[in-house]
Structure 1
Amino acid sequence: MLGQAQGIRRIPTAMGAALDDVFIDQISFPAADGYALTGTLFLPRGAKRHAVVINSATAVPRKIYRGFASYLAHRGCAVLTYDYRGIGDSRLPAMVGYNRPKSLVGFKASMSDWAALDVTAAVSWMRERYHALPLAYIGHSFGGQALGLIANNSEISRAALVASQAATWRLMTSPEKYRVYAFMNFVGVPLAHALGYAPGWAGIGEDLPKGVFLQWTEWVSSPRYLFDSKLPALENFAKFKGELRALCFSDDPWATRPAVELLASGFTAIKPEVLMVKPSDVGAKEIGHFGFFRPEHRDTLWRGVAEWIQGE
């Protein structure tokens, strides 16, 4: 089904059967520095017409995107989901010969590492493996931010950003923005320093490497989020010249329209399309920051994004 391409190793799994009439395989591939990342490849039973890489939000494991990835594969896409280093299955030892920590204490990683080493590698792996297919990029929250930071974003023909924003606390809704600022700076940062990592039980989702959480807090606390940093990788925003559509949802307290537009403004070589969606537009009571990926949106939000990335 997959073959044995260089740099990839299969992980034994019971998921080799079909889901939504697609093939599914658990894989491992190397990040740019050789660190082993775990992913899932979803393949259509028929002809492949597009390649898609789905890039996760902060502290969110790839399993959240399983339904949407399967849907895209059913429509003829080869789809990769994967976990960033320190998250999900890219944290625990899964295969002999790969050095993955059981504990995040002392684990070195940052959000900029996720982009430069992990997202970059995922895009390269899909581009090399499916070089004859148009390559699309789905970015959820941080996954959309990473699009502007990777040096190989010129390989992507279309990017759909879902609730992706320049996540400064100032552009969140009240009172959520005050809760986020207080939690990150006065609870999360002390915990990260004391424990050596940011614990998921504090309310952030998955455990996070200390460096990831501290850089995230620094960006959230800055007026223009990551654009206020001195990252050399910021120059990569201007390299993206594909089509870009950014979805924001009226009931999302974090990725508000101003925050989404601020992120979109960084892509200076193009004119990104920003679409605001109300839950009532798709017959839903709520969507929020994560709701796009619920199966109930299969025939509305999922279909709209799928048709757009496939040029239909």
Structure 2
Amino acid sequence: MDAVLDDVFIDEISLPATDGYTLAGTLFLPRGAKRHAVLINSATAVPRKIYRGFASYLAHRGCAVLTYDYRGIGGSRLPAMVGYNRPKSLAGFKASMSDWAALDVTAAVDWMRERYSALPLAYVGHSFGGQALGLIANNSEVSRAAFVASQAATWRLMTSPEKYRVFVFMKLIGVPLAHALGYALGYAPGWAGVGEDLPKGVFLQWTEWVSSPRYLFDSNLPALENFARFKGELRALCFSDDPWATRPAVELLASGFTATMPEVLTVKPSDVGARAIGHFGFFRPEHRDTLWRGVAEWIQRE
């Protein structure tokens, strides 16, 4: 259903993944001329609604913006349930993080290019959303990528004591719990500390990567070769009080994009008059005239 909010048109839509699975999305359009297209790609277990304010802000500035949920998350939990109340469980649901990239993110990039072929396409990746850019075969369609707290999330590069909490949770609690409940439920429950309920395959692959010294770069995914396909501009923001996306972790992810020269910027909360930013704080409306404006101006740079 269409809506208008502060001179921005907001349309709740659905789009097909590359295998036909229905993904829930929200399209934000400016009233005036469209000058850029922007795809916002979510963090793990994070529904698209948290990006609504930032997406609206970009639309105000003349961007056509799409947010969407990966399969198994938010409005994309089951194809038949898009636009309705979520089902109570993900029992029997098959998905992995590499599926999110190959099937969902790939399709979202194609969807934007088909509809806005005359506009430069920018890619905003939050946490896993940035990682996914390196895994998709069509990342050459993206002219500029802005990463927000996006990193190679090995526990070894997190700050103390968070890294030990993550290690204990994932290896000693999360994995056994996912296996034990997975047989009955088919997913890792959000109440265990992972955010939203996660498909079992997503959680187990995520845990495998977090446990590896070089995160996903230690996997044998054929899709890793796609990192070298991206030749656009890349700016990665890390925040000094983020225990997950530390600068070394952000630099490790950026190092995989060998065909470009990534720019990694560290922001302190005091730099923008904030008390804290952390892993999610960038998307709070209080940063409209600081962090949001900075990223928007970079995206829209000719």
- Using the size of structure 2 for normalisation, the TM-score is 0.95
Find 2:235's aligned residue among 241, 245, 248.
245
Per-residue deviation, 1:173 = 0.1
**What CA distance in whole angstroms lies between the structure 2 residues aligned with 1:107 and 1:93?**
11
Per-residue deviation, 1:16 = 2.5
Unaligned runs of 5+ in 2: none
Find 1:26's aligned residue among 6, 9, 12.
12
> Once superposed, what is the RMSD of the aligned Cα atoms?
1.8
CA contact (8 A) 1:237 1:267 kept: yes
Which deviations, in whole Å up to 9, do the C-alpha atoms of 1:18-44 show, x marking residues without a partner? Answer: 223100000001000000000000000
CA contact (8 A) 1:20 1:71 kept: no
Which deviations, in whole Å up to 9, do the C-alpha atoms of 1:226-250 show, x marking residues without a partner? Answer: 0000000000000000000000000
**What CA distance in whole angstroms lies between the structure 1 residues aligned with 2:21 and 2:242?**
34
Per-residue deviation, 1:203 = 1.3
**Aligned in 2, Cα 1:129/1:212: closer, same or farther, shift over 3 Å?**
same
278-287 or 17-26, which deviates more: 17-26
Per-residue deviation, 1:196 = 2.3
CA contact (8 A) 2:81 2:87 kept: no
Per-residue deviation, 1:92 = 4.3
**What CA distance in whole angstroms lies between the structure 2 residues aligned with 1:125 and 1:273?**
27
**Aligned in 2, Cα 1:96/1:176: closer, same or farther, shift over 3 Å?**
closer
Question: For 1:94, what is the secondary structure of its paired residue?
Answer: helix
**Aligned in 2, Cα 1:298/1:99: closer, same or farther, shift over 3 Å?**
closer
Question: For 1:241, what is the secondary structure of its paired residue?
Answer: coil
| 1:1-312 aligned within 5 A | 16-92=2-78, 103-193=89-179, 195-311=185-301
Per-residue deviation, 1:89 = 0.3
**What CA distance in whole angstroms lies between the structure 2 residues aligned with 1:254 and 1:84?**
21
Per-residue deviation, 1:103 = 2.5
Which deviations, in whole Å up to 9, do the C-alpha atoms of 1:243-286 show, x marking residues without a partner? Answer: 00000000000000000000000000111000000000000000
CA contact (8 A) 1:93 1:101 kept: no
CA contact (8 A) 1:137 1:158 kept: yes
**Aligned in 2, Cα 1:199/1:82: closer, same or farther, shift over 3 Å?**
same
CA contact (8 A) 2:90 2:199 kept: yes
222-231 or 199-208, which deviates more: 199-208
Per-residue deviation, 1:98 = 12
CA contact (8 A) 2:75 2:81 kept: no
CA contact (8 A) 2:156 2:163 kept: yes
**What CA distance in whole angstroms lies between the structure 2 residues aligned with 1:178 and 1:93?**
37
Aligned length in residues: 298
**What CA distance in whole angstroms lies between the structure 2 residues aligned with 1:117 and 1:178?**
33
CA contact (8 A) 1:91 1:102 kept: no
The list of structure 1 runs, each at least 4 consecutive aligned residues, that deviate by more than 4 angstroms after superposition, is 92-102
CA contact (8 A) 1:251 1:286 kept: yes
CA contact (8 A) 1:93 1:102 kept: no
Unaligned runs of 5+ in 1: 1-14
CA contact (8 A) 2:21 2:79 kept: no
- Using the size of structure 1 for normalisation, the TM-score is 0.92
Question: For 1:51, what is the secondary structure of its paired residue?
Answer: strand
Question: For 2:156, what is the secondary structure of its paired residue?
Answer: helix
CA contact (8 A) 1:65 1:293 kept: yes
Per-residue deviation, 1:197 = 0.8
**What CA distance in whole angstroms lies between the structure 1 residues aligned with 2:65 and 2:190?**
28
**What CA distance in whole angstroms lies between the structure 2 residues aligned with 1:116 and 1:17?**
31
